[in-house]
Amino acid sequence: MIPQVKCLITGAAGFIGSHLVDALLARGATIVGIDPLKLGTRRNLELALQNSRFRFHEADINDLARCGQIIAAETEANPFDMVWHMAANSDIRAGVADPEIDFRYTFLTTHSVLKLMREHKISNLAFASSSAIYGVHAGLLHEDLGPLFPISNYGAMKLASEAAISAAVEAFLGRAWIFRFPNVVGGRATHGAIYDFVRKLKNNPSELEVLGDGFQEKPYLHVSELVDAMLFIVDRARDRLNYFNIGTAGSATTVRYLAEAVVKRMSPRARIRFTGGHKGWVGDVPKFNYSIEKLKKLGWEPRLTSNVAVDRAAEEIVREAH
Ligand SMILES: NC(=O)c1ccc[n+]([C@@H]2O[C@H](COP(=O)([O-])OP(=O)(O)OC[C@H]3O[C@@H](n4cnc5c(N)ncnc54)[C@H](O)[C@@H]3O)[C@@H](O)[C@H]2O)c1
């Protein structure tokens, strides 16, 4: 079990980061959150900011001087047990258009985190990686698959981050946990298909344009289950370098289902117009099939199917948009 730890969380104001903050606070942890509020928001931290065990800094983790000062001041009072590195550019499409974005926010943030951890002697790291590292594969995606050829800069920079973490484990880290997330959905979303559909319908309640033919199919995991799985893994996986796919109960959801789930709740008369074609956008992996056998062996199983996770998330995101 994670003891009553002191944690640093990068990307703390983001979608997943803010849910993780809430879950760790509920377990009694003390948390220092860092986020420049590029994609995340203070609103996501509304609950946490009322807790005296949470301290938030609007800062970029690549600003080593500033973050070094924050960590040094905190360490003087009480050292950190662990870093949860959730910061990245989560806008994959923006990264396809400009590779610099993923270099700075998806890879360099990892390099900066490792540098700060080495300097301030923090030895445990949990890292948000992604199914995007796998690229396009016909078969089941399991953790020991290779060689890996991602098809987006985002996936490439996540894979490079995993490699840097592996080298850091050899050099100075005590332990690392790498989580390969599928598509994660839920309230406080800052991006993603459901979020985009809600925004589009707000602008035009009579029609929803959907990229592709609607048959792209992916597993979606609700954020509550994702956070539960991460905590479970950190509590129990004891290798020095631990790496796990986190996914849903053997199911996937089509983009068509996603669009209908939003339309139904937000604007039931809207027409859904598919632009056609087999991919949504360059860098998008149209279908994938995730193995979570390794995680099941450790003892964690998802409770929600992908469709149920999508329905729950659509409900939450539509409610927040009103
Ligand atoms: N949501 C998903 O479906 C999904 C899937 C796979 C992996 N991930 C990964 O999970 C993590 C969290 O993603 P999310 O969906 O919550 O996205 P998000 O954009 O809501 O959260 C990321 C946060 O990181 C912050 N950030 C960006 N650059 C930073 C920097 N230089 N220093 C500090 N903070 C910085 C952003 O402001 C944002 O608040 C990311 O690493 C993402 O790549 C997410």
Write the residue with the smallest CA distance to atom 18 of ligand 1. Answer: 14
Closest residue CA from atom 23 of ligand 1? 11
Relative to the CA of 38, which ligand 1 atom is closest? 37
Confirm or reject: Cβ of 302 under 6 Å from ligand 1. Answer: no
**Amino acid sitting at position 92:** I
Burial of 269 (0-12, 13-18, 19+ CB in 10 A): exposed
- E-state strands within the chain: 6-10, 30-34, 54-57, 82-85, 124-130, 140-141, 175-181, 183-185, 207-210, 217-218, 220-222, 241-245, 253-254, 271-274, 289-290
Q: Which regions in the chain score pLDDT beneath 50?
A: none
Per-residue pLDDT at 276: 84
Residue 250: C-alpha distances to residues 126, 134, 220, 301, 303 (Å): 25, 18, 10, 10, 11
pLDDT reported for residue 212:
86
Beta-bridge mates of residue 276:
212
Question: Which residue out of 9, 90, 258 has the highest number of ligand 1 atoms within 8 Å of its CB and is therefore the one to mutate?
Answer: 90
Q: What is the pLDDT of residue 139?
A: 85
Instruction: Tell me the pTM.
Output: 0.96
Ligand 1 center to 270 CA (angstroms): 31
Interval between CA 243 and ligand 1 midpoint (Å) = 19
Q: Which of 192, 166, 170, 183 is nearest to 110 (CA)?
A: 166
